[in-house]
Amino acid sequence: MTLRRVLIANRGEIAIRIARACRESTIESVAVYSDADAEAPHVRAADLAVRVGPAAPSESYLSIPSIVEAARATGADAVHPGYGFLSENASFARACEAAGLVFIGPPADVIERMGSKIAARALMQGAGVPIVPGETSVDQSDAGIIRAAQAVGYPALVKASAGGGGKGMRVVPDPGSARELIQAARREAEAAFGDGTLYVERVIEGPRHVEIQVFGDAHGGVVHLFERECSIQRRHQKVIEESPSAALTAGVRQAMGDAAVAAARAAGYRNAGTIEFLLEGAGDTARFYFLEMNTRLQVEHPVTEAVTGVDLVRAQLLVAAGAPLPWTQDSISQRGHAIECRIYAEDPQNGFLPQAGPLLLYREPQGPGIRIDSGVVEGYRMPVIYDPLIAKLTAAAESRDAAIARAQAALRGFPVLGIRTNIPFLLRVLAHPAFQAGAVDTGFIDANLDQLLRRSPAPLEALAAAAATRAALPTVPSASPSAADPWTSIADWGRGAP
C-alpha cells in the first residue's frame, strides 16, 4: 500500500520534523492543534490542520477520540504519534487500527508488553539480553516491596512497572527510609500512569546511559543503527546526547548492537524503537544491562541520523506502508561524531523551573554540520502547559572534539532573549573537563551542579550594550499572542510606510 495522507498527532518541533518527511515522500500531512496552539508554527508546517480541543493536553493531544475523529474527518490513512503524548499508548494504537488507520509505530500488543517494565524484563531475560539484577514482588504491599529491596540489597532502586522518564522511581539508601520512599514512588506512579505497581533493581554505581536505535519491518527484518550516549541527564531527563559513545570499545559496541537486535526480535518489534541500556565500567570489560525499550521515535533521533546518514522518519513512513527496511545491517555505518543539545525554556538558577513567555529575540545559528529542529519563531510565546523544549541543536563533525567545538560556537551564536533558557548551562557542560574527556556518568550534572550553575557578573561589554539599547527597537515584536503571525494584510500594501 502507499500512504497518501498522514495525520501528525503531536505539536512543536517533532510535528514539523514529521511534516517535512511527509513532504519529501509526497505524502500529505495533517497537523492537529489545541486552542493554545492555533497560531503555533507546527500548524503551518502541514498541508492541512484541524483543531482537536482545548489547551489542556488531556482534552486535545491526549484525547484518543478527538485525534481519531480528526484523522477520519480529514481523510487521513495513517497516524504518526511523534514522541510523548499518545506515542506509547497501546489503546491509541488499537483505536487507530480499529478506525482503519495505519499506526506509524509498533503493533499495539508490543507497546503494551514493553510498557510494562516487569513484563519487558522477563521477555529480555528469556531472549538472553542482560537485565539489571532485581526482584519483582507479587506482594505489592509496603512490606512486600521492602522484602524485595532486602533481597536485592541496599541501596536499592524502586521503580514503577509502568514508569518512564524517572517518574515513580526512588533510590532507597537504607531500610529506615524504605517505607516513606516506596510510598512516594507508588503515589507518583499512580498519578502519572494510573498504575502503582513497583519492582526493585540493584543500584548500578556510576552508570552511563547508552541506548541502541533499532528498526524492524513487517517482513522479519531487524537492524540496529548504533548507539547514542545520553549520560548528561537531570532527573532522568536527557539534556545532551551524542554518538558514538566515548565509552564503547568496538567489541562492546558489537555486543550491544547484537543484544538490541535480539531484544527487538524477541519483542516482535516493528518500526523505529530504542533499547536503553545502563553501562557499568569501561573498556572491553564494561557490562551492559537492559533498562527499557522506547517503542517510538526518540527526541534525540537526529544524532543517529547525523552519524549514519539515514532519515529515520522517512523510513518509518516506508515501513508503516508495508515496505521492507530500506537498508541492510551491513549498509549502515557510523561516521564522524554528532552531539545534540536540548534547548529548554527553563531557569537553571531556580531549580530548572519551566519558563513561559515571549521569545522577544530568537535567532537560529547556521553553518556546516549544524542542524536545528525547532518549533518556535521569534515572537512566539512559550505556553505554560506543554513541554518547555524550544529547539534541538545537533552539531556533527569528523571527531568528538570537533563536534563539541562546533556545538559551542553554534550555541554562542544562538541568542534567545525574553525568557530564560538553559543555553548558558549547556555551554558550561560542554566546556567541563570531564565532559570534554568523555568521562561522565548519569550523575554528572548532580555531582557538578554548583560549578555548572556558577555565573559571572555582567562584563563591561554587556553593560555597555544594555546602556546603548533603547526601549523600542523596531524589531521587537509585541507580546500579543498573534505576534507569531508572520502575515500582513494585503490591504496594507501600497500605502507606504506607516
Which residues would be at the binding site for other proteins (CB under 8 A)? 167, 188, 191-192, 235, 350-351, 353-356, 360-361, 363, 384-385, 387, 408, 411-412, 414-418, 420-421, 423-424, 427, 455-476
Query: Residue holding cell 474527518?
Result: 73
Query: Which pairs with CB-CB distance under 8 Å and at least 24 residues apart come from 324-327?
Result: 324/217, 324/219, 324/221, 325/215, 325/216, 325/217, 325/221, 325/223, 327/223
CB of 124 to other proteins, least distance (A): 26
Is 454 among the residues known to form the active site? no
Q: Residue 381 belongs to what H/E stretch?
A: strand 381-382
Active-site pick, 270, 296, 381, 420: 296
Please identify, using beta-carbon distances, which residue of 26 and 469 lies nearer to other proteins: 469
CB of 164 to other proteins, least distance (A): 10
Tell me the residue length of the chain: 498
Return left, alpha or beta for 352; rule: phi > 0 is left, psi -120 to 50 is alpha, else beta.
left
Please identify, using beta-carbon distances, which residue of 138 and 473 lies nearer to other proteins: 473
Please identify, using beta-carbon distances, which residue of 166 and 206 lies nearer to other proteins: 166
Please identify, using beta-carbon distances, which residue of 69 and 347 lies nearer to other proteins: 347
The DSSP code sequence of 162-228 is T-BTTBT-EEE-SGGGHHHHHHHHHHHHHHHHS---EEEEEPPSS-EEEEEEEEE-TTS-EEEEEEE
Is the Cβ–Cβ distance between 66 and 52 less than 8 Å?
yes
Q: Residue 80 belongs to what H/E stretch?
A: strand 78-80
Per DSSP bridges, beta strands 28-34 and 5-8 are parallel
Please identify, using beta-carbon distances, which residue of 167 and 371 lies nearer to other proteins: 167
| Closest C-alpha to 279, from 202, 227, 206, 339 | 206
CB of 200 to other proteins, least distance (A): 21
Please identify, using beta-carbon distances, which residue of 106 and 168 lies nearer to other proteins: 168
CB of 465 to other proteins, least distance (A): 4
CB of 423 to other proteins, least distance (A): 6
DSSP state of 364: -
The whole-angstrom distance between residue 260's C-alpha and the CA centroid of its chain comes to 19
The whole-angstrom distance between residue 162's C-alpha and the CA centroid of its chain comes to 18
Angle between helices 108-115 and 90-98 (to 10 degrees): 170
Amino acid symbol at 401: D
Sort 364 into a burial class: Cβ within 10 Å, 0-12 / 13-18 / 19+. middle
Q: How far apart are CA 321 and CA 21, in angstroms?
A: 14
Q: How far apart are CA 30 and CA 313, in angstroms?
A: 16
Is the Cβ–Cβ distance between 266 and 123 less than 8 Å?
yes
CB of 88 to other proteins, least distance (A): 14
Per DSSP bridges, beta strands 361-362 and 357-358 are unpaired
Please identify, using beta-carbon distances, which residue of 307 and 376 lies nearer to other proteins: 376
Question: Which residues are identified as catalytic?
Answer: 296
